[in-house]
């Protein structure tokens, strides 16, 4: 179950600050996991192979994690990088490194990779 009440924490409150701080810890934990050579070896053992797609995913996801940390530092965490709208807390809980709202994120996914 997700953190109770975290989905409706209003921005700019002490609860929001605590929420962002918890999210930051989750992002840092993920970054450490992705960038840990031991973890890469574990994945290799589990999957038998680190495919180019997985490399791509790890690299791309890392970029989002870094961007999310930068947004926390500049105080824009929870705001969409594309339209400036609020990213729903439920989405942030699901994807701690979300830097776009669900609408913009979906549009990005629909665009062909070469057009990005």
Residues forming contacts to Zn ion in the complex (CB under 5 A) are 80, 82-83, 85, 101, 104
Closest contact distance (angstroms) between CB of 17 and Zn ion is 23
DSSP state of 4: T
Q: 3-state class of 86 per DSSP?
A: strand
Q: In the complex with Zn ion, which residue's Cβ is closer, 9 or 101?
A: 101
Closest contact distance (angstroms) between CB of 107 and Zn ion is 8
Question: 98, 74, 85, 83: which is closest to 23 by C-alpha?
Answer: 98
Closest contact distance (angstroms) between CB of 79 and Zn ion is 9
CB atoms within 10 A of CB 4: 6
Q: In the complex with Zn ion, which residue's Cβ is closer, 27 or 104?
A: 104
Question: 8, 69, 2, 4: which is closest to 34 by C-alpha?
Answer: 69
Q: In the complex with Zn ion, which residue's Cβ is closer, 5 or 85?
A: 85
């Amino acid at each position: 179950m997700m953190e109770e009440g975290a989905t409706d924490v209003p921005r700019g409150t002490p609860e929001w600050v605590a929420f962002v701080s918890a999210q930051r810890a989750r992002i840092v934990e993920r970054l450490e996991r992705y960038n840990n050579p031991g973890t890469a070896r574990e994945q290799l053992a589990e999957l038998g192979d680190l495919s180019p797609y997985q490399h791509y995913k790890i690299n791309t996801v890392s970029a989002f994690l870094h961007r999310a940390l930068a947004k926390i530092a500049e105080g824009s965490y929870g705001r969409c990088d594309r339209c400036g709208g609020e990213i729903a807390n439920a989405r942030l809980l699901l994807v701690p490194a979300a830097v776009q709202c669900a609408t913009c994120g979906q549009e990005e996914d629909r665009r062909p990779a070469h057009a990005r």
